[in-house]
Amino acid sequence: MKGVRIIHRGSFNNTEKFLNALKGQQYLNRLAEYGEKGAEALAEATPKDTGLTASSWVFDIVKTKSGTQLSWSNTNEINGFNVARALQYGHGTGSGGYVRGRDYINPAIRPVADEISEGVWKEIESL
């Protein structure tokens, strides 16, 4: 029976440092910074009438079995109707008309998502 032979040179110091940082959950503070930045970008991009929808962006950090998720949502609802979603995708009116949506969420959050991606790689490279 043939086995598997693994040979390595060097050390696992960088890997251990990275895993210890994750274990210490220091990355959650960084995610919270990105969460705030995303909520601010979304608030700035949200079409404003009263300003309530723009000021209702929140973020959430959730640990899952496979990792950690950062998500944004808007809490402004009228009779269960999410106003931010209606602005994004459009909605029918009470008189039978239709208000066309405006894609403001994706352009607002894209730079933050890119920054998160770049930041993660910088963190990994610095270990």
pLDDT over 70 percentage in the chain: 82
For 46-89, how does the pLDDT look when each residue is reduced to its tens digit (9 = 90+)?
999 899 999 999 999 998 888 889 999 999 999 999 999 999 99
Fill in the amino acid letter for 98. Answer: Y
Reported pTM:
0.75
3 contacts 15 by C-beta, under 8 angstroms: no
pLDDT over 90 percentage in the chain: 58
Strand intervals (E) in the chain? 57-63, 68-74, 77-78, 81-82, 90-92, 98-100
